[in-house]
Homo-oligomer: A and B are copies of this chain.
């Protein structure tokens, strides 16, 4: 078992998915689609909203199941979806992104090492494999309203209720308008919306730089770099503009930054060099990090090794360096010298990748203001040991939008989701638990304590990072016990095998294996705009 410490990179060895064949698909996922849900007017303050309940007519008449609404489609949300017992709860999932993204391999995609489609899996594919009924709403949650237990949803793109074949109830009420805001009621809310990239107030980043958080970012980075190569190729060697176009600046020395720099360097030295060697020689990748080390979540031995590997390539490391300002074609970097002085330098770039860290999303910061106990929160929702959002009885937060003293990593999100699903199983088994909890007006964690629920206990499974040039570092642990600490070529294969095992869907695993196998024989697929 293994994992790593970074918001988008940290992962854990999930239970092996049984592989999925066409046959099993046709027998287990013959699901029905329902027309959109019934709706009723709901007055909220000055504005009028429709409140909808995603229950069938049948269910409305004999309602016993509590509704659980999940926000998000990342590690926390999808791990929760996979583990929640949908025969005991009415489960809905709301997310504007209709697929899960295997974030640990995102740095491999701009260079074309792994295809973007290989690391995503549609939400409906996870939902359709579950027993019971799941409703997926493709929409962004704009606000959480704890006063009336609803989520405000804007501009729904689509909605699908996936229901096991043996389930008989159907609803055929006419639909909601696409652009009409409405509210979804919940008994329990699981907020797992993650976080968004943080520019830390540096101007020009959003305008001129690229984040690497989502699939479209990867496509943009590849398009930009490909166009810059073309433009540079029309200029004579030594031209300053050619030099600028061929400069890539990666800001952030965490796993995302290091891996992206390493992957792009691999593309340049393994592929581009084959057909445009003099141009490949002139590509300069800069890696800018404010701390004195890269990959500071690893132990000193490994981060030093990482640094030495990076220095052997042509990647230029700028440590203890902060970015002051970003302009259209250059940025100002301030490096702290050993004597305490600060040296300012101008670094020209053709492509700027910003991978420094994340901040809370608006739907989360909005909730900070609505729950008095969260008024002091800034980065994420404070949760208690049962992952209840402090100050709420029926809102739970997991993953990067929850704060409980752990790093914002995929393995934390995943373990939290699994823990919470176990609690939901137990909640269902205890007579009257739901009523006790949902009617409480204070001491919201008391029902959990009184019924002997165990607090969430995180087991750190380690960390992994790819450095480029087929070198990786890994530290595999189980809590405080360390099983493997290494760096190099063998660790690179360890890295590959562990990542494969962590992928949440068999289809995605198949595609990543194909991509890596292809790379053994052929160059990367580096197509501008594809």
Contact = CB atoms under 8 A, between A and B. Distances in A.
Interface of A: 19-22, 25-26, 29-33, 35-36, 98-99, 115-117, 120, 122, 124-125, 127-128, 138, 156-160, 162, 172-178, 215, 229-231, 233-237, 239, 274-279, 506-507, 510-511, 514, 517-518, 520-523, 525, 527-528, 530
A520 B215 contact: no
A98 B525 CA distance: 13
Nearest to A35: B236
Contacts of A122: 527
A421 to B, nearest CB: 23
Contacts of A29: 274-275
Given A233-B33, A234-B175, A518 B511 contact: yes
Enumerate the 7 nearest inter-chain pairs by beta-carbon distance, A residue then B residue, closest first. A158-B230, A507-B522, A33-B276, A514-B514, A175-B234, A174-B236, A158-B233
Nearest to A237: B35
A243 to B, nearest CB: 14
Contacts of A229: 158
Most buried by B among A239, A507, A522, A527: A522
Number of copies: 2
14 contacts: A20-B521, A21-B521, A22-B520, A31-B277, A32-B278, A35-B237, A115-B115, A117-B530, A120-B527, A160-B233, A162-B275, A174-B236, A176-B234, A514-B518
- Tell me if A's interface is mostly helix, strand, loop or mixed: mixed
B510 A30 contact: no
Contacts of A278: 32-33
A405 B187 CA distance: 73
A128 B275 contact: yes
Contact of A33 (B30, B173, B275, B527): B275
A475 B276 CA distance: 44
Nearest to A115: B117
B274 A30 contact: yes
Contact of A510 (B158, B172, B518): B518
Nearest to A31: B275
Given A172-B237, A518-B510, A25 B525 contact: no
A175 B238 CA distance: 12
B521 A507 contact: yes
Given A158-B230, A172-B237, A279 B33 contact: yes
A484 to B, nearest CB: 28
A41 to B, nearest CB: 19
A336 to B, nearest CB: 39
Contacts of A236: 35-36, 172-175
B510 A521 contact: yes
Given A507-B518, A518-B514, A160 B35 contact: no
Nearest to A98: B528
A177 B276 CA distance: 19
Contacts of A215: 530
Contacts of A127: 275
B518 A234 contact: no
Given A117-B115, A275-B128, A514-B514, A234 B36 contact: yes
A160 B275 contact: yes
Nearest to A526: B122
Contacts of A125: 275, 523
A514 B32 CA distance: 30
A411 to B, nearest CB: 26
